[in-house]
């Protein structure tokens, strides 16, 4: 399995950039909850060991790495709400969250490494899009871990107010039990109405079969 390294960061430094932030988002696929982005600017001499795509790490390891990152890196967080997801689309909302995360960094970066194949509209900084960046760049990997931990926390909190959907374990993703709960319990204010399973349930409620 490919391990992320400093290749992209080193290439940017070779071009004269000093403050390089990795940017990633979490939460494009769920039926509920916001999309969360993180921007992480690592100290090149204090890079935590074991940074990788958040999806290949267990929760315990992710939490430990976030604690370590909070002590040695600069972190910015940004979200896009369910209303923004439904108003725009999930890709545009993800990019909005990324721009907010970059703006929330304690110090402004001068170069961005962004996960994916597209750069957000409205970006004013030099940047590079990196496909599968969370498994190739340590800065993007760090951002993926921070975003995952923070979004999971939000979903666990929402689960306390809207029990029955399993958000504390499924984080709003369309598991079988989550979709069954949608049918039996109905749609909450935190569900993405533009997503097909939620849209279909709302449509059926308005247009019951005779």
Residue 84 labelled as part of a binding site: no
Query: Rounded to a whole number, what is the distance in angstroms from the first to the last CA of the chain?
Result: 54
Return d(Cα 60, Cα 77) in angstroms, integer: 21
Is 53 one of the annotated binding-site residues? Answer: no
Strands 111-115 and 35-42: unpaired
- Burial (Cβ within 10 Å: 0-12, 13-18, ≥19) of residue 12: buried
Q: What are phi and psi of 36, to 5 degrees?
A: -120, 135
Binding residues for a divalent metal cation, by number, are 24-25, 115
Binding residues, by number, are 24-25, 115
């Amino acid at each position: 399995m490919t391990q992320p390294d400093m290749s992209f960061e080193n290439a940017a430094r070779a071009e004269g950039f000093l403050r390089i932030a990795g940017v990633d988002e979490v939460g494009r696929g769920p039926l509920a909850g916001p999309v969360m982005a993180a921007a992480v600017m690592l100290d090149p001499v204090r890079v935590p060991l074991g940074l990788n795509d958040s999806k290949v790490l267990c929760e315990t390891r992710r939490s430990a790495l976030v604690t370590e990152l909070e002590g040695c890196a600069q972190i910015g967080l940004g979200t896009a709400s369910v209303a923004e997801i439904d108003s725009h689309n999930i890709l545009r909302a993800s990019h909005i969250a990324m721009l907010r995360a970059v703006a929330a960094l304690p110090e402004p970066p001068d170069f961005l490494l962004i996960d994916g194949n597209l750069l957000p509209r409205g970006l004013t900084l030099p940047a590079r899009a990196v496909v599968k960046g969370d498994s190739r760049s340590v800065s993007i990997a760090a951002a993926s871990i921070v975003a995952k931990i923070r979004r999971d926390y939000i979903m666990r909190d929402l689960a306390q107010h809207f029990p029955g959907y399993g958000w504390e374990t499924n984080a709003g993703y369309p598991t079988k039990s989550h979709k069954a709960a949608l049918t039996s319990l109905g749609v909450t204010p935190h569900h993405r109405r533009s997503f097909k399973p939620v849209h279909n349930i709302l449509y059926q409620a308005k247009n019951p079969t005779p």
